[in-house]
Amino acid sequence: MRGIRAVILAAGEGTRMKSARSKVLHELFGKAIVSYCVEAARESGVRKVYVVAGSNRAELKKFFGGSVEIVHQAKRLGTGHAVMACEKALRGYDGDLFVLAGDAPLVRGATLAEFRSRFSKDGAAAGILTAELENPRGYGRILRNAAGEVTGIREDLDADECEKDIREVNSSMYCFRAKLLFAALKKVTPDNRKREYYLTDAISILAEQGEAVQGYALAGAAELLGINTRQDLADAAKEIWKRNLEAHMGAGVTVVSPGTTYIEAGVRIGADTVVHPFTHIEKDVAIGKNCSIGPFAKIRAGSRVKDGAAIGSFVEVVRSTVGENTLVKHLAYLGDATVGRGVNVGAGTITANYDGKNKNRTRIGDGAFLGCDTVLIAPVKVGRGARTGAGTVVPRGRNVPAGVTVVGVPAAVLKSKNKLKK
Ligand code: UD1
Ligand code: CA
Protein backbone atom coordinates (compact mmCIF):
# COMPACT_ATOMS: atom_id res chain seq x y z
CA MET A 1 0.00 0.00 0.00
CA ARG A 2 1.08 3.57 -0.62
CA GLY A 3 1.68 5.92 2.31
CA ILE A 4 -1.27 7.56 4.00
CA ARG A 5 -1.71 10.96 5.62
CA ALA A 6 -4.82 12.75 6.85
CA VAL A 7 -6.24 16.23 6.44
CA ILE A 8 -8.86 17.16 9.01
CA LEU A 9 -11.15 20.05 8.20
CA ALA A 10 -11.78 22.18 11.25
CA ALA A 11 -11.82 25.79 10.08
CA GLY A 12 -15.60 26.17 10.23
CA GLU A 13 -16.99 28.87 12.50
CA GLY A 14 -19.43 26.54 14.22
CA THR A 15 -21.96 29.37 14.56
CA ARG A 16 -24.82 27.04 15.45
CA MET A 17 -23.10 26.07 18.71
CA LYS A 18 -23.49 29.70 19.88
CA SER A 19 -20.20 29.49 21.70
CA ALA A 20 -17.12 31.63 22.21
CA ARG A 21 -15.04 28.45 21.94
CA SER A 22 -14.06 26.70 18.77
CA LYS A 23 -16.70 24.07 18.03
CA VAL A 24 -14.24 21.23 17.48
CA LEU A 25 -12.68 21.83 20.93
CA HIS A 26 -15.92 21.30 22.82
CA GLU A 27 -15.63 18.30 25.10
CA LEU A 28 -17.41 15.09 24.40
CA PHE A 29 -17.14 12.79 27.41
CA GLY A 30 -13.84 14.23 28.52
CA LYS A 31 -12.21 14.56 25.12
CA ALA A 32 -12.31 17.33 22.50
CA ILE A 33 -14.51 16.59 19.48
CA VAL A 34 -11.62 16.92 17.03
CA SER A 35 -9.43 14.51 19.05
CA TYR A 36 -11.77 11.61 18.35
CA CYS A 37 -11.31 12.12 14.65
CA VAL A 38 -7.52 12.51 14.92
CA GLU A 39 -7.32 9.35 17.03
CA ALA A 40 -9.49 7.35 14.63
CA ALA A 41 -7.12 8.38 11.83
CA ARG A 42 -4.12 7.34 13.91
CA GLU A 43 -5.72 4.02 14.84
CA SER A 44 -6.20 3.30 11.16
CA GLY A 45 -2.47 3.74 10.56
CA VAL A 46 -2.02 7.45 9.81
CA ARG A 47 1.12 9.06 11.23
CA LYS A 48 1.05 12.53 9.74
CA VAL A 49 -2.04 14.64 10.41
CA TYR A 50 -2.82 18.13 9.09
CA VAL A 51 -5.60 20.10 10.75
CA VAL A 52 -7.08 22.98 8.75
CA ALA A 53 -7.82 25.88 11.08
CA GLY A 54 -9.42 29.28 10.56
CA SER A 55 -10.06 31.89 13.23
CA ASN A 56 -9.59 29.09 15.77
CA ARG A 57 -5.96 28.66 14.70
CA ALA A 58 -4.35 29.81 17.96
CA GLU A 59 -6.72 27.69 20.06
CA LEU A 60 -6.02 24.59 17.96
CA LYS A 61 -2.27 25.18 18.01
CA LYS A 62 -2.28 25.43 21.77
CA PHE A 63 -4.46 22.37 22.10
CA PHE A 64 -2.42 20.08 19.85
CA GLY A 65 1.05 21.37 20.68
CA GLY A 66 3.25 19.86 18.00
CA SER A 67 1.36 16.60 17.56
CA VAL A 68 -0.33 17.66 14.31
CA GLU A 69 0.48 20.25 11.68
CA ILE A 70 -1.90 23.20 11.74
CA VAL A 71 -2.63 24.65 8.30
CA HIS A 72 -4.24 28.06 8.09
CA GLN A 73 -7.22 28.65 5.81
CA ALA A 74 -7.33 32.43 5.87
CA LYS A 75 -10.81 32.78 4.36
CA ARG A 76 -13.59 30.27 4.68
CA LEU A 77 -14.47 29.67 1.06
CA GLY A 78 -15.64 26.08 1.32
CA THR A 79 -14.44 22.54 1.93
CA GLY A 80 -12.57 22.35 -1.39
CA HIS A 81 -10.80 25.61 -0.59
CA ALA A 82 -9.92 24.25 2.86
CA VAL A 83 -8.17 21.21 1.36
CA MET A 84 -6.45 23.47 -1.19
CA ALA A 85 -4.91 25.34 1.76
CA CYS A 86 -2.89 22.18 2.45
CA GLU A 87 -1.34 22.02 -1.01
CA LYS A 88 1.86 23.71 0.09
CA ALA A 89 2.27 21.58 3.20
CA LEU A 90 1.80 18.46 1.07
CA ARG A 91 3.99 19.49 -1.86
CA GLY A 92 5.86 16.54 -3.29
CA TYR A 93 3.70 14.04 -1.41
CA ASP A 94 2.61 11.25 -3.73
CA GLY A 95 0.69 8.90 -1.43
CA ASP A 96 -2.91 8.58 -0.30
CA LEU A 97 -4.78 11.17 1.68
CA PHE A 98 -7.71 10.86 4.01
CA VAL A 99 -9.84 13.98 4.15
CA LEU A 100 -12.02 13.96 7.26
CA ALA A 101 -14.41 16.39 8.92
CA GLY A 102 -13.17 17.57 12.31
CA ASP A 103 -16.74 17.82 13.60
CA ALA A 104 -17.53 14.12 13.01
CA PRO A 105 -16.16 12.34 16.10
CA LEU A 106 -17.97 9.02 15.89
CA VAL A 107 -16.11 7.38 13.06
CA ARG A 108 -14.17 4.36 14.31
CA GLY A 109 -10.53 3.68 13.57
CA ALA A 110 -11.49 0.22 12.35
CA THR A 111 -13.94 1.73 9.84
CA LEU A 112 -11.24 4.00 8.43
CA ALA A 113 -8.79 1.09 8.25
CA GLU A 114 -11.30 -1.01 6.32
CA PHE A 115 -12.09 1.97 4.08
CA ARG A 116 -8.43 2.45 3.31
CA SER A 117 -7.75 -1.19 2.52
CA ARG A 118 -10.77 -1.42 0.19
CA PHE A 119 -9.66 1.79 -1.53
CA SER A 120 -6.16 0.39 -2.04
CA LYS A 121 -7.37 -2.97 -3.25
CA ASP A 122 -9.70 -1.33 -5.79
CA GLY A 123 -6.90 0.93 -7.04
CA ALA A 124 -9.30 3.87 -6.82
CA ALA A 125 -8.39 7.52 -7.33
CA ALA A 126 -11.05 8.66 -4.88
CA GLY A 127 -13.15 6.86 -2.29
CA ILE A 128 -16.06 8.19 -0.29
CA LEU A 129 -17.34 6.72 2.94
CA THR A 130 -21.11 6.68 2.59
CA ALA A 131 -24.17 5.54 4.50
CA GLU A 132 -27.84 5.00 3.77
CA LEU A 133 -29.95 7.28 5.94
CA GLU A 134 -33.67 7.16 6.69
CA ASN A 135 -33.65 10.92 6.59
CA PRO A 136 -30.85 12.20 4.34
CA ARG A 137 -31.81 15.86 4.62
CA GLY A 138 -28.88 18.24 4.92
CA TYR A 139 -26.33 15.78 3.56
CA GLY A 140 -24.74 15.65 0.13
CA ARG A 141 -26.28 12.82 -1.98
CA ILE A 142 -24.18 10.23 -3.79
CA LEU A 143 -24.93 10.22 -7.52
CA ARG A 144 -24.41 6.94 -9.34
CA ASN A 145 -24.91 6.00 -13.00
CA ALA A 146 -26.86 3.01 -14.32
CA ALA A 147 -23.80 0.81 -13.78
CA GLY A 148 -23.72 1.86 -10.13
CA GLU A 149 -20.52 3.89 -10.50
CA VAL A 150 -20.22 7.11 -8.52
CA THR A 151 -20.46 10.12 -10.83
CA GLY A 152 -20.62 12.91 -8.28
CA ILE A 153 -22.09 14.34 -5.08
CA ARG A 154 -24.99 16.77 -4.99
CA GLU A 155 -25.33 19.09 -2.01
CA ASP A 156 -28.75 19.18 -0.38
CA LEU A 157 -29.19 22.85 -1.23
CA ASP A 158 -28.42 22.25 -4.90
CA ALA A 159 -30.38 19.00 -5.30
CA ASP A 160 -33.52 18.68 -7.43
CA GLU A 161 -36.58 16.74 -6.27
CA CYS A 162 -35.32 13.44 -7.73
CA GLU A 163 -31.88 13.80 -6.20
CA LYS A 164 -33.40 14.66 -2.83
CA ASP A 165 -34.92 11.15 -2.77
CA ILE A 166 -31.46 9.53 -2.82
CA ARG A 167 -30.73 8.09 0.59
CA GLU A 168 -27.05 7.29 0.18
CA VAL A 169 -25.19 10.26 1.62
CA ASN A 170 -21.70 11.67 1.76
CA SER A 171 -20.08 11.29 5.19
CA SER A 172 -17.49 13.95 4.37
CA MET A 173 -14.79 11.31 4.87
CA TYR A 174 -12.77 10.56 1.80
CA CYS A 175 -9.63 8.86 0.63
CA PHE A 176 -7.79 10.28 -2.37
CA ARG A 177 -4.64 9.83 -4.39
CA ALA A 178 -3.18 13.13 -3.18
CA LYS A 179 -1.76 14.31 -6.51
CA LEU A 180 -4.98 13.62 -8.40
CA LEU A 181 -6.99 15.41 -5.73
CA PHE A 182 -4.98 18.63 -5.89
CA ALA A 183 -5.09 18.64 -9.70
CA ALA A 184 -8.88 18.20 -9.60
CA LEU A 185 -9.35 20.91 -6.95
CA LYS A 186 -7.75 23.45 -9.29
CA LYS A 187 -10.74 22.95 -11.58
CA VAL A 188 -13.40 23.49 -8.94
CA THR A 189 -15.48 26.65 -9.33
CA PRO A 190 -17.91 28.19 -6.83
CA ASP A 191 -20.99 27.89 -9.05
CA ASN A 192 -23.49 26.66 -6.49
CA ARG A 193 -26.07 28.14 -4.14
CA LYS A 194 -23.52 28.85 -1.41
CA ARG A 195 -20.89 30.31 -3.79
CA GLU A 196 -18.29 28.04 -2.17
CA TYR A 197 -15.50 25.86 -3.51
CA TYR A 198 -16.91 22.42 -2.76
CA LEU A 199 -14.60 19.50 -2.13
CA THR A 200 -17.46 17.34 -3.37
CA ASP A 201 -16.99 18.76 -6.89
CA ALA A 202 -13.55 17.13 -7.04
CA ILE A 203 -15.43 13.82 -7.13
CA SER A 204 -17.36 14.56 -10.33
CA ILE A 205 -14.25 16.08 -11.90
CA LEU A 206 -12.26 12.89 -11.25
CA ALA A 207 -15.15 10.71 -12.46
CA GLU A 208 -15.41 12.72 -15.69
CA GLN A 209 -11.69 12.22 -16.25
CA GLY A 210 -12.35 8.49 -16.17
CA GLU A 211 -10.66 7.95 -12.81
CA ALA A 212 -12.08 5.23 -10.59
CA VAL A 213 -14.28 6.78 -7.91
CA GLN A 214 -15.73 4.43 -5.31
CA GLY A 215 -18.42 4.86 -2.69
CA TYR A 216 -18.12 2.54 0.29
CA ALA A 217 -21.19 2.11 2.46
CA LEU A 218 -19.15 0.87 5.41
CA ALA A 219 -20.34 3.16 8.15
CA GLY A 220 -23.55 2.91 10.11
CA ALA A 221 -25.56 6.10 10.41
CA ALA A 222 -24.17 6.67 13.93
CA GLU A 223 -20.61 6.99 12.68
CA LEU A 224 -21.57 9.80 10.34
CA LEU A 225 -23.03 12.22 12.83
CA GLY A 226 -21.51 15.66 12.42
CA ILE A 227 -21.79 18.03 15.36
CA ASN A 228 -23.33 21.34 14.45
CA THR A 229 -25.48 22.11 17.50
CA ARG A 230 -25.53 21.42 21.24
CA GLN A 231 -28.28 18.90 20.53
CA ASP A 232 -25.91 17.04 18.17
CA LEU A 233 -23.28 17.18 20.92
CA ALA A 234 -25.70 15.48 23.32
CA ASP A 235 -26.60 12.87 20.69
CA ALA A 236 -22.92 12.10 20.10
CA ALA A 237 -22.38 11.90 23.86
CA LYS A 238 -25.01 9.16 24.08
CA GLU A 239 -23.06 7.11 21.58
CA ILE A 240 -19.64 7.67 23.20
CA TRP A 241 -21.15 6.95 26.63
CA LYS A 242 -22.36 3.58 25.37
CA ARG A 243 -19.07 2.75 23.68
CA ASN A 244 -17.02 3.58 26.78
CA LEU A 245 -19.18 1.35 28.97
CA GLU A 246 -19.08 -1.49 26.44
CA ALA A 247 -15.29 -1.30 26.33
CA HIS A 248 -15.01 -1.56 30.13
CA MET A 249 -17.51 -4.39 30.37
CA GLY A 250 -15.62 -6.15 27.59
CA ALA A 251 -12.46 -5.85 29.71
CA GLY A 252 -14.04 -7.54 32.73
CA VAL A 253 -15.58 -4.67 34.66
CA THR A 254 -19.07 -5.10 36.11
CA VAL A 255 -21.22 -2.05 35.49
CA VAL A 256 -24.29 -2.62 37.61
CA SER A 257 -26.39 0.11 36.07
CA PRO A 258 -25.11 1.27 32.68
CA GLY A 259 -27.92 3.80 32.41
CA THR A 260 -26.69 5.79 35.41
CA THR A 261 -22.93 5.33 35.09
CA TYR A 262 -20.75 7.91 33.34
CA ILE A 263 -17.21 6.97 32.42
CA GLU A 264 -15.28 9.46 30.35
CA ALA A 265 -12.62 8.82 27.73
CA GLY A 266 -9.18 7.73 28.86
CA VAL A 267 -10.19 5.80 31.99
CA ARG A 268 -8.55 2.48 32.87
CA ILE A 269 -10.32 -0.02 35.11
CA GLY A 270 -9.04 -3.45 36.12
CA ALA A 271 -10.93 -6.71 35.86
CA ASP A 272 -13.49 -7.71 38.49
CA THR A 273 -13.97 -4.17 39.67
CA VAL A 274 -17.64 -3.41 40.24
CA VAL A 275 -19.01 0.02 39.41
CA HIS A 276 -22.27 0.66 41.25
CA PRO A 277 -25.09 2.96 40.08
CA PHE A 278 -24.94 6.76 39.82
CA THR A 279 -21.19 6.94 39.51
CA HIS A 280 -19.21 9.46 37.48
CA ILE A 281 -15.60 8.72 36.58
CA GLU A 282 -13.76 11.50 34.80
CA LYS A 283 -10.99 11.28 32.20
CA ASP A 284 -7.45 10.42 33.27
CA VAL A 285 -8.41 8.06 36.07
CA ALA A 286 -6.93 4.60 36.65
CA ILE A 287 -8.69 2.10 38.86
CA GLY A 288 -7.21 -1.27 39.73
CA LYS A 289 -8.61 -4.77 39.93
CA ASN A 290 -11.22 -5.98 42.42
CA CYS A 291 -12.28 -2.51 43.47
CA SER A 292 -15.76 -1.42 44.45
CA ILE A 293 -16.78 1.98 43.16
CA GLY A 294 -20.00 3.78 44.13
CA PRO A 295 -22.93 3.98 44.32
CA PHE A 296 -22.95 7.77 44.00
CA ALA A 297 -19.18 8.14 43.74
CA LYS A 298 -17.38 10.85 41.83
CA ILE A 299 -13.82 10.09 40.83
CA ARG A 300 -12.22 13.05 39.19
CA ALA A 301 -9.30 13.52 36.85
CA GLY A 302 -5.84 12.62 38.04
CA SER A 303 -6.96 9.96 40.51
CA ARG A 304 -5.48 6.50 41.00
CA VAL A 305 -7.34 3.83 42.90
CA LYS A 306 -5.27 0.73 43.60
CA ASP A 307 -6.34 -2.92 43.63
CA GLY A 308 -8.96 -3.97 46.12
CA ALA A 309 -9.85 -0.46 47.27
CA ALA A 310 -13.44 0.62 47.89
CA ILE A 311 -14.78 4.08 47.10
CA GLY A 312 -18.33 4.14 48.40
CA SER A 313 -21.41 6.29 48.47
CA PHE A 314 -21.15 10.07 48.26
CA VAL A 315 -17.38 10.04 48.07
CA GLU A 316 -15.46 12.47 45.86
CA VAL A 317 -11.85 11.81 44.96
CA VAL A 318 -9.74 14.22 42.94
CA ARG A 319 -6.02 14.20 41.99
CA SER A 320 -5.50 11.59 44.68
CA THR A 321 -4.04 8.13 45.03
CA VAL A 322 -5.92 5.60 47.10
CA GLY A 323 -3.75 2.63 48.09
CA GLU A 324 -4.44 -1.09 47.89
CA ASN A 325 -7.31 -2.39 50.00
CA THR A 326 -8.03 1.04 51.42
CA LEU A 327 -11.66 1.70 52.32
CA VAL A 328 -13.31 5.06 51.73
CA LYS A 329 -16.85 3.91 52.03
CA HIS A 330 -19.07 6.83 52.90
CA LEU A 331 -19.37 10.60 52.60
CA ALA A 332 -15.74 11.59 52.20
CA TYR A 333 -13.70 14.06 50.19
CA LEU A 334 -10.13 13.27 49.19
CA GLY A 335 -8.48 16.09 47.26
CA ASP A 336 -4.75 16.12 46.44
CA ALA A 337 -4.24 13.24 48.83
CA THR A 338 -1.89 10.28 48.83
CA VAL A 339 -3.44 7.52 50.85
CA GLY A 340 -1.45 4.38 51.62
CA ARG A 341 -2.64 0.78 51.72
CA GLY A 342 -5.07 -0.73 54.11
CA VAL A 343 -6.24 2.65 55.38
CA ASN A 344 -9.73 3.10 56.79
CA VAL A 345 -11.13 6.50 55.95
CA GLY A 346 -14.14 7.01 58.22
CA ALA A 347 -17.43 8.49 57.12
CA GLY A 348 -17.39 12.26 56.76
CA THR A 349 -13.59 12.56 56.50
CA ILE A 350 -12.39 15.61 54.59
CA THR A 351 -9.01 16.66 53.30
CA ALA A 352 -9.14 20.45 53.38
CA ASN A 353 -6.83 20.86 50.40
CA TYR A 354 -7.55 24.44 49.37
CA ASP A 355 -6.55 27.37 51.53
CA GLY A 356 -8.04 30.00 49.22
CA LYS A 357 -4.82 30.35 47.25
CA ASN A 358 -3.10 27.01 46.88
CA LYS A 359 -4.04 23.38 46.69
CA ASN A 360 -2.05 21.46 49.30
CA ARG A 361 -1.29 17.78 49.74
CA THR A 362 -2.33 15.39 52.44
CA ARG A 363 -0.38 12.18 53.02
CA ILE A 364 -1.82 9.30 54.92
CA GLY A 365 0.45 6.35 55.76
CA ASP A 366 -0.31 2.65 55.39
CA GLY A 367 -2.72 1.17 57.89
CA ALA A 368 -3.87 4.50 59.32
CA PHE A 369 -7.37 4.67 60.78
CA LEU A 370 -9.27 7.94 60.42
CA GLY A 371 -12.28 8.23 62.69
CA CYS A 372 -15.59 9.60 61.44
CA ASP A 373 -15.64 13.28 60.58
CA THR A 374 -11.87 13.78 60.68
CA VAL A 375 -10.74 17.01 59.03
CA LEU A 376 -7.16 17.08 57.78
CA ILE A 377 -6.04 20.60 56.94
CA ALA A 378 -3.40 20.34 54.23
CA PRO A 379 -0.48 20.32 53.95
CA VAL A 380 -0.36 17.64 56.57
CA LYS A 381 0.73 14.04 57.12
CA VAL A 382 -0.75 11.21 59.08
CA GLY A 383 1.89 8.57 59.86
CA ARG A 384 1.63 4.82 59.32
CA GLY A 385 -0.80 3.14 61.65
CA ALA A 386 -1.82 6.44 63.27
CA ARG A 387 -5.42 6.93 64.42
CA THR A 388 -7.73 9.90 64.72
CA GLY A 389 -10.78 10.00 66.96
CA ALA A 390 -14.22 10.98 65.70
CA GLY A 391 -14.47 14.70 64.94
CA THR A 392 -10.71 15.32 65.07
CA VAL A 393 -9.38 18.40 63.31
CA VAL A 394 -5.69 18.15 62.42
CA PRO A 395 -4.27 21.64 61.67
CA ARG A 396 -1.91 22.22 58.76
CA GLY A 397 1.64 21.13 59.32
CA ARG A 398 0.80 19.41 62.63
CA ASN A 399 1.75 15.99 61.34
CA VAL A 400 0.48 12.98 63.24
CA PRO A 401 3.41 10.64 63.97
CA ALA A 402 3.23 6.97 63.07
CA GLY A 403 1.32 4.78 65.49
CA VAL A 404 -0.04 7.68 67.54
CA THR A 405 -3.71 8.40 68.27
CA VAL A 406 -4.93 12.00 68.20
CA VAL A 407 -8.31 13.39 69.21
CA GLY A 408 -10.14 16.69 69.50
CA VAL A 409 -10.07 20.17 68.00
CA PRO A 410 -7.28 20.95 67.39
CA ALA A 411 -5.99 17.41 67.42
CA ALA A 412 -3.98 16.41 70.47
CA VAL A 413 -2.27 13.15 71.30
CA LEU A 414 -4.43 10.91 73.38
CA LYS A 415 -3.10 10.18 76.92
CA SER A 416 -0.19 12.63 76.72
CA LYS A 417 -1.11 15.89 78.53
CA ASN A 418 -3.00 17.12 75.46
CA LYS A 419 0.16 18.26 73.70
CA LEU A 420 0.34 17.72 69.97
CA LYS A 421 3.60 16.19 68.82
CA LYS A 422 5.25 17.78 65.83
C1 UD1 B 1 -20.38 18.59 4.03
C2 UD1 B 1 -20.41 18.02 2.59
C3 UD1 B 1 -21.65 17.17 2.43
C4 UD1 B 1 -21.68 16.08 3.48
C5 UD1 B 1 -21.59 16.69 4.89
C6 UD1 B 1 -21.44 15.58 5.92
C7 UD1 B 1 -19.32 19.70 1.15
C8 UD1 B 1 -19.54 20.76 0.15
N9 UD1 B 1 -20.42 19.11 1.63
O10 UD1 B 1 -21.48 19.48 4.16
O11 UD1 B 1 -21.67 16.60 1.13
O12 UD1 B 1 -22.85 15.29 3.37
O13 UD1 B 1 -20.43 17.53 4.98
O14 UD1 B 1 -21.46 16.10 7.22
O15 UD1 B 1 -18.21 19.40 1.45
N16 UD1 B 1 -14.72 23.61 6.68
C17 UD1 B 1 -13.50 24.25 6.59
N18 UD1 B 1 -13.38 25.33 5.79
C19 UD1 B 1 -14.41 25.81 5.04
C20 UD1 B 1 -15.65 25.14 5.13
C21 UD1 B 1 -15.77 24.04 5.96
O22 UD1 B 1 -12.53 23.85 7.24
O23 UD1 B 1 -14.20 26.80 4.32
C24 UD1 B 1 -14.83 22.43 7.55
C25 UD1 B 1 -15.84 22.58 8.67
O26 UD1 B 1 -15.20 23.05 9.84
C27 UD1 B 1 -16.33 21.15 8.86
C28 UD1 B 1 -16.17 20.52 7.48
O29 UD1 B 1 -15.28 21.35 6.76
O30 UD1 B 1 -15.54 20.44 9.78
C31 UD1 B 1 -17.49 20.38 6.74
O32 UD1 B 1 -18.01 21.67 6.49
P33 UD1 B 1 -19.56 22.01 6.66
O34 UD1 B 1 -19.78 23.43 6.30
O35 UD1 B 1 -20.04 21.57 8.00
O36 UD1 B 1 -20.17 21.09 5.51
P37 UD1 B 1 -21.64 20.52 5.41
O38 UD1 B 1 -22.57 21.57 4.97
O39 UD1 B 1 -21.96 19.78 6.65
CA1 CA C 1 -21.11 19.72 8.98
Query: Nearest residue CA, atom 32 of ligand 1?
Result: 79
Q: Ligand 1: which of 172, 194, 228, 232 to mutate, judged by most atoms within 8 Å of the beta carbon?
A: 172
Query: Closest ligand 1 atom to the C-alpha of 140?
Result: 11
Last residue of a domain, one of 175, 195, 224: 224
Query: Closest ligand 1 atom to the C-alpha of 13?
Result: 26
Per-residue pLDDT, 267: 98
Q: Are residues 405 and 338 in the same domain?
A: yes
Q: Are residues 236 and 213 in the same domain?
A: no
Per-residue pLDDT, 219: 77
Residue 71 CA, ligand 1 centroid: distance in Å: 16
Q: Is the CB–ligand 1 distance for residue 172 below 6 Å?
A: yes
Per-residue pLDDT, 416: 60
Residue 20 burial (CB < 10 Å; 0-12/13-18/19+)?
exposed
Query: Nearest residue CA, atom 37 of ligand 1?
Result: 139
Domain span including residue 387:
230-413
Residue 422 domain flag: no
Residue 408 domain flag: yes
Per-residue pLDDT, 316: 98
Per-residue pLDDT, 32: 96
Per-residue pLDDT, 59: 95
Q: Are residues 87 and 168 in the same domain?
A: yes
Residue 52 domain flag: yes
Query: Closest ligand 1 atom to the C-alpha of 8?
Result: 30
CATH number at residue 245: 2.160.10.10
Catalytic residues: 330
Q: Are residues 195 and 268 in the same domain?
A: no
- Give average pLDDT by consecutive 10-residue segment, the chain, 422 residues: 94 90 94 97 98 96 97 96 98 97 96 97 97 93 96 96 96 97 98 95 97 92 92 96 97 98 97 98 98 98 98 98 98 98 98 97 98 98 98 98 98 71 49
